[in-house]
């Protein structure tokens, strides 16, 4: 594939991703907007791939080494922190139990 | 591993990310979605390790342990009330990483290849610019939310002009770079200049506008990562970054709509400073503030039929969400109808109040969005405002001179009585006077929200 073709291909993917993003995100209820933010935060941690490619290269000079190392640290903080925080939040949204129907004092369901 | 295999496996990661976002439309399944996304991320990392170009494993691993360790500890320890600053922080580091990656790409490619291809140099320049703005802006947002620096708008003369000039200078340098003057100093100037712009552009934005800023910075980081995908010719970065960019843009527009202000107005309006004096003068003429004791309020609540709580940022500051829920339970046990009215921009980030109330295990059906809550206020006996201010300010409806005029608000003044829990008469973070406090229907219960609610619980019990 020539460079020009590759570029067009990448731009196509980019444009489709914009529409896909809007489509998927518009279905997220207001209730979950904070987890949406932290979840997407975790997703942009994918920049770690870029950081690894910089850091992992064979013959690199000191400057690249330093930039790459800092980039790996930042990106992995982003990835781990993002997913953990989102998980903690979503856990709270998950534990919904119908416990609020007033149970008897001994824990038995109230008589109908 | 061949490039084809790598790209196919990256496609799996893309699918997991899309699923993660899809699952977020169902609160009960959302946690699984997030885990699927995390697995996808692990796959991407493993695949990258297996690439032929990647040879220094240990250095990467050490960096990952340091960064991942920090991220894990911070994410475990953070209180739910401090979530906005945590999101800002993780957002910033992502943006910073994107800027650094493009710097390294430039540094390595220029001497080897002579002239860069046009699209690659544009991508490097944009990713450095946007990533750097996002990094610096997020750090300032973090500092403001963490109260390391003042939450109020910080302004100086010629602010807009200076900021725009700085941004324009960065763009001009960037264009020079793209046009073929491939001096690394120029890229450094772009990175430093846009970091400075990030600082200057968030500093004047007040606390109440934080939901817009955080969403926007989220979009910026996503965009920086997507553009970074072009310089590395990597689809997973392009798609994932753009999904985040779309999500951030969506939330930014939603928040702007909830405040009935254009995004440009939020970003460059230096909220709260413009016509503060006019608003204050219009609001406070006539009328006095009535303050009540906890016992008085407890009686009002105990003999009501319907009570609506209106939470705001003050609820997060006082960490009173569990106490509010206890009070609500107590009232419900007395047969009183209880609900919570949630304004889209209450708090410091989209959905902030929902997270806090979810932490306190408030059942979903009691959480009412603005459109649903407003018609109910006319048959509400007591509206209890817990640390909210601008989102219940009637000036938004009536006073054209007010900086928040036109913003849809919760019409708490339709209720028979309004109780405002507030620390003091100081105006809110936006610095705007609130005539609701002078309304004859309103009583103020001064003190820390948590203490006040605890007193109310005791007093309601003793009735």
pLDDT tens digits, B360-379:
989 888 999 999 999 999 99
Rounded to two decimals, what is the model's pTM?
0.86
Which spans in B274-319 are helix H? 276-284, 294-302, 313-318
A7 touching chain B per CB within 8 A? yes
Is residue B157 over pLDDT 80?
Answer: no
The answer on B262 and B299 residing in a single domain is: no
Q: In chain A, where are the structural domains located? A: 46-90
Domain count, chain B: 2
pLDDT of residue B424: 75
pLDDT tens profile B272-299 = 444 444 444 444 555 688 888 889 999 9
d(CA B284, CA B436): 10
A66 touching chain B per CB within 8 A? no
pLDDT of residue B149: 82
Residue B257 within a domain: yes
Among B268, B292, B317, the domain boundary falls at B268
Is residue A88 over pLDDT 80?
Answer: yes
Residues of B assigned a catalytic role: 390
pLDDT of residue B427: 58
pLDDT tens profile A29-58 = 888 999 999 999 999 999 999 999 999 888
Does residue B215 contact residue B246 with C-beta atoms inside 8 Å? no
The answer on B372 and B346 residing in a single domain is: yes
The answer on B196 and B115 residing in a single domain is: yes
Residue B45 within a domain: no
Residue B173 within a domain: yes
CA-to-CA dists, residue A58 to B44, B59, B229, angstroms: 20, 11, 21
Q: Which residues contact B26 (CB under 8 A, 6 or more apart)?
A: none
Does residue B216 contact residue B351 with C-beta atoms inside 8 Å? no
The answer on B435 and B319 residing in a single domain is: yes
pLDDT of residue B429: 53
Model confidence at A23, in pLDDT bands (50, 70, 90)?
A: very high
* Strand B367-369 versus strand B382-386 pairing type: unpaired
The answer on B180 and B321 residing in a single domain is: no
Whether B80 and A27 lie within 8 Å, measured CB to CB? no
Choose among B21, B30, B119: nearest Cβ to A90: B30
The answer on B397 and B329 residing in a single domain is: yes
Residue B198 within a domain: yes
A90 touching chain B per CB within 8 A? yes
pLDDT tens profile B228-245 = 999 999 999 999 999 999
* Strand B337-342 versus strand B306-311 pairing type: parallel
The answer on B263 and B333 residing in a single domain is: no
Choose among A14, A25, A84: nearest Cβ to B247: A25
For the segment B443-452, the average pLDDT, to the nearest whole number, is 90
Is residue B77 over pLDDT 60?
Answer: yes
pLDDT of residue B422: 87
The nearest CA of chain A is from the CA of B201 a distance in Å of 21
Is residue B1 over pLDDT 90?
Answer: no
Is residue A102 over pLDDT 70?
Answer: no
Choose among A44, A70, A96: nearest Cβ to B241: A44
Highest mean pLDDT among A72-86, B181-195, B426-440: A72-86
Average model confidence (pLDDT) for chain A? 84
Choose among B34, B67, B76: nearest Cβ to A76: B67
Whether B25 and A28 lie within 8 Å, measured CB to CB? yes
pLDDT tens profile B101-136 = 999 998 888 766 566 788 888 999 999 999 999 999
Tokens of B135: 């990094």
The nearest CA of chain B is from the CA of A107 a distance in Å of 16
Quote ipTM for the complex. 0.86
Residue % of chain B over a pLDDT of 70: 93
Could you tell me how many CB contacts below 8 A there are between chain A and chain B? Answer: 368
Average model confidence (pLDDT) for chain B? 87
Is residue A107 over pLDDT 50?
Answer: no
The answer on B319 and B218 residing in a single domain is: no
Is residue A101 over pLDDT 50?
Answer: no
d(CA B13, CA B11): 5
**CATH code, domain carrying B323:** 3.40.50.1220
Say how many C-beta atoms besides its own lie within 10 A of residue B299's C-beta. 15
The more confident residue out of B176 and A72 is A72
The answer on B236 and B316 residing in a single domain is: no
CA-angle at B137, arms to B133 and B138, nearest 5° = 115
Least confident of A23-32, B198-207, B338-347: B198-207
Tokens of B59: 């250095």
Whether B87 and A37 lie within 8 Å, measured CB to CB? yes
Is residue B67 over pLDDT 50?
Answer: yes
Mutation site, A50, A84, A105, interface B, largest B CB count within 10 A:
A50
The answer on B289 and B262 residing in a single domain is: no
Model confidence at A93, in pLDDT bands (50, 70, 90)?
A: confident
Residues of A whose CB is below 8 A from B98? 47, 50
CA-nearest residue of chain B to A30? Answer: B351
The domain containing residue B354 runs over which residues? 284-462
CA-nearest residue of chain A to B231? Answer: A50
Q: Hey, which bits of B282-416 come out as E strands?
A: 306-311, 337-342, 367-369, 382-386
Helix (H) or strand (E) holding B220: helix B210-232
Residue B277 within a domain: no
The answer on B254 and B116 residing in a single domain is: yes
pLDDT tens profile B17-46 = 999 999 999 888 899 999 999 999 999 999
Helix (H) or strand (E) holding B417: strand B417-422
pLDDT of residue B269: 64
The answer on B310 and B211 residing in a single domain is: no
pLDDT of residue B280: 46
d(CA B21, CA B124): 28
């Amino acid at each position: 594939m020539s460079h020009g073709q590759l570029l067009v291909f990448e731009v196509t993917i980019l444009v489709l991703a914009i529409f896909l993003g809007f489509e998927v995100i518009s279905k997220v209820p207001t209730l979950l907007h904070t987890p949406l933010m932290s979840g997407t935060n975790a997703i942009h941690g994918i920049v770690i791939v870029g950081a690894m490619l910089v850091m992992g290269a064979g013959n690199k000079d000191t400057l690249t080494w330093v930039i790459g190392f800092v980039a790996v640290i930042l990106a992995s903080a982003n990835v781990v922190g993002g997913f953990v925080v989102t998980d903690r939040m979503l856990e709270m949204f998950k534990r919904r139990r119908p416990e609020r129907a007033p149970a008897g004092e001994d824990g038995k369901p109230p008589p109908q | 591993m061949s490039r084809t295999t790598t790209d196919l496996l990256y496609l799996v990661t893309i699918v997991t990310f899309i699923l993660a976002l899809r699952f977020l439309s169902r609160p009960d399944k959302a946690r699984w979605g997030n885990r699927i996304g995390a697995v996808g991320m692990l796959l991407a990392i493993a695949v990258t390790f297996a690439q032929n170009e990647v040879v220094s494993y240990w250095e990467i691993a050490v960096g990952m342990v340091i960064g991942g360790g920090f991220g894990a500890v911070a994410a475990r320890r953070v209180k739910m009330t401090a979530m906005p600053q945590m999101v800002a922080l993780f957002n910033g580091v992502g943006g910073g990483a994107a800027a650094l990656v493009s710097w390294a790409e430039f540094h390595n490619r220029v001497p080897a290849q002579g002239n860069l291809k046009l699209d690659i140099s544009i991508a490097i320049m944009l990713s450095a610019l946007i990533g750097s703005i996002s990094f610096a802006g997020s750090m300032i947002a973090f500092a403001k939310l963490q109260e390391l620096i003042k939450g109020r708008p910080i302004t100086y003369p010629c602010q807009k002009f200076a900021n725009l000039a700085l941004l324009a200078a960065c763009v001009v340098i960037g264009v020079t770079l793209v046009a073929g003057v491939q001096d690394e100093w120029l890229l450094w100037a772009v990175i430093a200049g846009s970091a400075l712009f990030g600082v200057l552009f968030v500093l004047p934005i007040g606390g109440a506008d934080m939901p817009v800023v955080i969403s926007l910075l989220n979009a910026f980081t996503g965009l920086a990562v997507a553009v970074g995908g072009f310089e590395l010719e990597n689809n997973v970065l392009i798609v994932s970054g753009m999904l985040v960019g779309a999500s951030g843009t969506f939330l930014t527009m939603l928040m702007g709509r909830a405040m009935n202000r254009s995004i440009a107005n939020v970003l460059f309006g230096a909220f709260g400073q413009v016509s503060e004096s006019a608003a204050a003068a219009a609001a406070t003429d006539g009328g006095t503030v009535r303050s009540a004791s906890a016992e008085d309020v407890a009686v009002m609540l105990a003999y009501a039929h319907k009570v609506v709580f209106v939470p705001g940022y003050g609820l997060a500051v006082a960490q009173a969400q569990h106490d509010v829920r206890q009070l609500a339970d107590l009232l419900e046990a007395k047969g009183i109808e209880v609900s919570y009215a949630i304004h889209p921009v209450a708090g410091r980030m989209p959905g902030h109040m929902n997270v806090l109330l979810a932490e306190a295990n408030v059942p979903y059906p009691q959480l009412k969005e603005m459109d649903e809550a407003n018609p109910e206020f006319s048959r509400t006996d007591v509206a209890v405002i817990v640390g909210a201010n601008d989102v219940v300010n009637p000036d938004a409806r009536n006073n054209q001179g007010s900086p928040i005029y036109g913003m849809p608000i919760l019409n708490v003044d339709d209720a028979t009585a309004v109780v405002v829990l507030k620390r003091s008469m100081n105006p809110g973070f936006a610095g705007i006077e609130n005539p609701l406090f002078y309304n004859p229907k309103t009583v103020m219960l001064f003190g820390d929200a948590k203490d006040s609610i605890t007193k109310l619980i005791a007093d309601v019990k003793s009735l």
